[in-house]
Structure formats: structure tokens, C-alpha cells
Amino acid sequence: MTHPNYFPALDSGPTLSTAKAARWLGVSERAVRDMCIKGKFKGAYRPAGYNGKWLIPMTTLEAICPMPADRLLIADIAKVAETAET
């Protein structure tokens, strides 16, 4: 049986890596990975082929913490979104 966290929810929207989620929440990346393993982030999943990596929906992070702890993260996310559109 395949673990349910290996497949994204169809409507999860934009996602962030554990590193960026850690910056958003102001915690360590290890803490974010542990929370993912424990199922604390709704919609978090492990993409196939990415050993140990997790992706967390931005909507889940925004529900926990409306504004990122690291304000520079907003600019980083905007750059990624801009390059994805082109």
C-alpha cells in the first residue's frame, strides 16, 4: 500500500519546500520535517523521487502564521512565481 503523503492533494495550490516553510514559520527545517512526518500540515506530501523532501501548501502555512517570520521570504516567493509564469 502506498503511503497517502506521497501524492499531493489535487487542489493544494502553490507549495513550499521544508526550508522555505521553516523560514515562514521561524523554526528549523528539522522541526518542519518532524511536523510533516507527524501529519501536522494539512496537504503536505512527499513527491516521488525526492528522498526525504516534503512540500507544504502555502494555504496551510498561512492558516498557521498569516505572515512569514522571515519577511525576505515574500520576495523569494514572488521571484519563483514570476519565473514559473514565463
User: Residue ranges per domain, the chain?
Assistant: 4-85
* H or E element at residue 56: strand 55-57
Q: What are phi and psi of 15, to 5 degrees?
A: -125, 160
Confidence of residue 72 (pLDDT cuts 50, 70, 90): confident
Percentage, residues of the chain above pLDDT 70: 79
Between the alpha carbon of residue 17 and those of residues 1, 8, 50, 66, the distances in Å are 25, 13, 11, 17
d(CA 43, CA 66): 17
- pLDDT, tens digit, for every residue of 16-46? 999 999 999 999 999 999 999 999 999 999 9
d(CA 78, CA 46): 23
Percentage, residues of the chain above pLDDT 90: 50
